[in-house]
Structure 1
Amino acid sequence: MAKKQIDPGLDQVKEMLDVAILQPTATAAEVERVAQVVRDELYGFLCVNACHVRRAAQCLVGAKGKVIACVAFPFGATATETKVFETQRALADGAEEIDMVMNLGAFLGGEKKRAMEDIREVVAAADGKVVKVIIETAYLSTDQKVDAAKIVQEAGAAFVKTCTGFSPDAAALYEDVRLLRQTVGPKMGVKASGRIRNYLRFISMVEAGANRIGLGWQQAQEIVKGWHEAHG
């Protein structure tokens, strides 16, 4: 299948960028600096760990960028009730979207209903806000990726997301993104995350079917620079 040729405008590119600061060592001051970049550069989103949501939201008051809170990050291995509480608290603190990690142990152990209910509970707790579910493609076979994406879709999430960036070989692959898009169809969101470091990689992910890109602020700057070079 030939790749669909994509040529987004700069505003569209920026709106697709989920700029993340998710390192366990990230300080409040570092979160504030990245929030300022998101604010100044008019990026669409700032993705932070739950403990930083309130500060990030305060930094982005009146800005274009919205705050995404990560839930059960990066392993997904917490009780559903904990994920629900974390979701509710993040929304109360100012998050506009939730990126949760799937219960991979349940899924890989054949407890697909449990994995689905885990997602459904978070979607319900989000009360209409966008929920993206990370399935950690690096751990999954092709058939498992398809099954996981179907579970995410049936559970009512808005997006399926490739990876946290903390798993082995945590790179977003064209083939994986295309597979997820083919699985969930045109209406559901697909977020690609992992080693998307320049404009060519960005375009590759969009051509594959991603409509949201997760990355660090330096990579976001490289993508914008690449857009200018491609359109100069």
Structure 2
Amino acid sequence: MLEITEAQLAATIDHAILKPEFTRADVDAELSIAREWGVFSVCVRPSDIPHAVDQLAGSGVAVGTVIGFPHGTTSTAAKVAEARAAIEAGATELDMVVNIGWLRSGFDDAVVEDIRAVKDAAGSLVLKVILETSLLDEEQIARGSRLTEAGGADFVKTSTGFAGGGATVPHVRLMRENVSDAVQVKASGGVRSLATALEMLDAGATRLGTSGSATILGELRSILAGGTAAGRVDESSY
């Protein structure tokens, strides 16, 4: 028997609604999934924040968004402005992309300053820093995790889902080992099944970024009800 309830698993999920080609109808369908399954939050495109806040009012599902997405190469000033606009629009969590080139170049002070500036704009709201682990080696992932904490962020996150790779158990463990208990780990990118979700949580993640929420939670519901786990999700999804 799995030692996790559906509500407990749902409380770890940020349902991703980030595909650039999504129409309003597509967004609404995904918001309905988030509401139906009672996930912790949605992570929407910045332009969708007001609509998501309106559609999810009273549901208990939080609205988050992305900053400097998906490459992380916008200026710090632009990231700060984007963060402030997102908060004004109603977002309560921000997932910013680290400046990957700076991290790979060893510009540690610049990376910390970039993160800290966005955290200052976020204030008490949750800030997650996306490292894009598929573009980094293990030393860079470990250092990026430490720099994330030095910048004051609340989470270090694996991936955008748009760089040809996603979360892996070894990378989640490495990130967990390189931050204190004050910083949490979010696994995202390629988390599309119950087995993968549970592996990421076991490795030290406390939040999961996925567009496969219905599949993951549906598999768990089936198992807990004594049925057979089943389900499929678009393999091109976040």
TM-score, scaled to structure 2? 0.91
2:233 is the counterpart of 1:223: no
CA deviation after TM superposition for structure 1 residue 171, in Å: 2.2
Alpha-carbon distance in 2 for matches of 1:27, 1:126: 28
Aligned to 1:96: 92
Moved more, 103-112 or 60-69: 103-112
2:53 is the counterpart of 1:52: no
CA deviation after TM superposition for structure 1 residue 7, in Å: 2.3
Alpha-carbon distance in 2 for matches of 1:228, 1:31: 24
Q: Residue 44 of structure 2 contacts residue 65 of structure 2 at CA under 8 Å; is this kept in 1?
A: yes
Q: Deviations over 1:125-158 (max 9, x none)?
A: 0011000000010111111110000000110000
Aligned to 1:3: none
Q: Residue 71 of structure 1 contacts residue 98 of structure 1 at CA under 8 Å; is this kept in 2?
A: yes
Q: Residue 33 of structure 2 contacts residue 214 of structure 2 at CA under 8 Å; is this kept in 1?
A: no
- CA RMSD across the alignment: 1.4
Moved more, 110-119 or 179-188: 179-188
Q: What secondary structure does 2:140 align onto? A: helix
1:188 to 178, 183, 201: 183
CA deviation after TM superposition for structure 1 residue 98, in Å: 0.1
Alpha-carbon distance in 2 for matches of 1:79, 1:85: 10
Aligned to 1:65: 61
Aligned to 1:114: 110
CA deviation after TM superposition for structure 1 residue 30, in Å: 1.7
2:157 is the counterpart of 1:161: yes
Aligned to 2:11: 15
Q: What secondary structure does 2:49 align onto? A: helix
Aligned residues with identical type, % of pairs: 35
Alpha-carbon distance in 2 for matches of 1:192, 1:179: 12
Alpha-carbon distance in 1 for matches of 2:31, 2:41: 9
Q: Residue 49 of structure 1 contacts residue 73 of structure 1 at CA under 8 Å; is this kept in 2?
A: no
2:146 is the counterpart of 1:172: no
Question: In structure 1, what residue type is equivalent to 2:220?
Answer: W
Stretches of structure 1 that go unaligned for 5 or more consecutive residues are 1-5
Q: What secondary structure does 2:4 align onto? A: coil
CA deviation after TM superposition for structure 1 residue 202, in Å: 0.6
CA deviation after TM superposition for structure 1 residue 63, in Å: 1.1
Q: Deviations over 1:45-83 (max 9, x none)?
A: 110111111111111111111011101100011011110
Q: Residue 163 of structure 1 contacts residue 192 of structure 1 at CA under 8 Å; is this kept in 2?
A: yes
Q: Residue 31 of structure 2 contacts residue 55 of structure 2 at CA under 8 Å; is this kept in 1?
A: yes
| Count of residues in Structure 1 that have an aligned counterpart in Structure 2 | 225
2:200 is the counterpart of 1:205: yes
Q: What secondary structure does 1:76 align onto? A: coil
Q: What secondary structure does 1:121 align onto? A: helix
CA deviation after TM superposition for structure 1 residue 112, in Å: 1.1
Q: Residue 37 of structure 2 contacts residue 217 of structure 2 at CA under 8 Å; is this kept in 1?
A: no
Question: In structure 2, what residue type is equivalent to 1:201?
Answer: T
CA deviation after TM superposition for structure 1 residue 22, in Å: 0.7
Question: In structure 1, what residue type is equivalent to 2:219?
Answer: G
